[in-house]
Structure 1
Amino acid sequence: MSIESAFSQFPTLTTERLRLRQIRPNDAESFFEIFSDEEAMRYYGHEPHTSIEETRARIQRIGEQYEQREALRWGITLKDDNTILGSCGFHHLRADFKLAETGYELKRSHWGQGIMAEAEAAVLEYGFNELGFHRVEAIIDIVNGRSKGLLLKLGFTYEGNLRQRFYFQGGFEDEHFFGLLKEEWNARDRATGKG
């Protein structure tokens, strides 16, 4: 598989419990549950949605980014239920540098169940070993302990803080960078018997 083939037909991924599929317009109500939840959006860098129209516009933008080959974002569902629980994927794709950034969000009712770790592991495996990425980055608010814990569990390394790089809600905030290399991901798989 290559980046070209990923953009000619959207790739569906499966794990032990989950199916990661293309996000569709009729997923708006499920996504609105997430994007309107102040706690779920606390560290997202955007204000919570106040109308489903905002969520529909976000879903449309996800589709446009895919069509423009700028991002791959999967909707996360359980294998036996097609309802969206969250999403994850790659944005800021730089095929020339074999680089992408990852991001994710999940309904609060499904926090603490290992769902995002399982979904992100599938996405990282696909990115490194099917799309040929050499490096995947993540940028978070360092006080978001759940996100930091997830990244460390997946093998990311904290690489530094860019001071006051992001303007949000009338003030400047730091951005904290994490990175993961293909060789680190594959070594992790070998160590756990998955590779």
Structure 2
Amino acid sequence: MFPVLNTERLSLRPPRANDIDDLFALFSDPRITEVWSHEAWTERAQAESLLQNIVAKAQSGELFQWAITLAGVDRLIGTATLSAVDHRHRHCMIGYALMPSHQGKGYAREAAGALIRHAFTGLQLHRIGADLEPDNAGSRKLLEAFGFQVEGRLRDTYWLNGRWYDSLIMSLLESDWRARQSPA
């Protein structure tokens, strides 16, 4: 399907049927979805549908959504995603979500680093975009640490939980990422 990406403390692997309960727990938590582009899930079938979508879109190369697990502990604690992959124009979008009990430990940064490296070296992409809720300071700080730049703010992009949400658009170019990898 797509490669396993290993970091110092994590393994990012393709999700499997036995991840459905953890996927449901992740995306049914309003603390997660308040900064995501959909409302909290209410039915386990939504996790089953996501897994089917991941498999189908990975085969076409449009979406790669890994299960984040701790190294040596094969249980989903979050997801890491390269979506809207456009091989012709060589760009994609990045996303990540972690169970609240695993936040604040640097795992999102570690997973994002693996995704960025894979996007630029494995998939040979040129640009990675990010669409985040403007008040998500943690995600913005994480992306800026990798060199992502703010491109703009889209007003009233998502209707969720009875109100409109804006989107902060950021991006990282492969050339900027490579320049940061080289010693000065």
Q: If the TM-score is normalised by the length of the shorter chain, which range does it land in?
A: over 0.9
Q: Is residue 27 from structure 1 mapped to residue 6 from structure 2 by the alignment? A: no
Give the structure-1-normalised TM-score. 0.89
Contact 1:161 1:177 in 2 (8 A): yes
Match of 1:134 in 2: 126
Q: Is residue 71 from structure 1 mapped to residue 34 from structure 2 by the alignment? A: no
Give the structure-2-normalised TM-score. 0.94
Match of 1:88 in 2: 80
Share of identical aligned residues, percent? 32
Unaligned 5+ runs, structure 1 = 1-8
Distance 2:161 2:183 in 1: 43
Shift of 1:135: 0.5
Q: Of 34, 40, 55, which aligns to 1:48?
A: 40
Shift of 1:170: 4.0
Distance 2:30 2:159 in 1: 18
Contact 1:25 1:60 in 2 (8 A): no
Match of 2:116 in 1: 124
- Which segment is superposed worse, 159-168 or 80-89? 159-168
Unaligned 5+ runs, structure 2 = none
Q: Is residue 108 from structure 1 mapped to residue 108 from structure 2 by the alignment? A: no
User: What is the total number of aligned residue pairs between the two structures?
Assistant: 184
- C-alpha RMSD of the superposition: 1.5
Shift of 1:83: 0.2
Match of 2:177 in 1: 185
One-letter code aligned to 2:168: H
- Which segment is superposed worse, 106-115 or 44-53? 44-53
Shift of 1:27: 0.3
Distance 2:49 2:88 in 1: 29
One-letter code aligned to 1:91: S
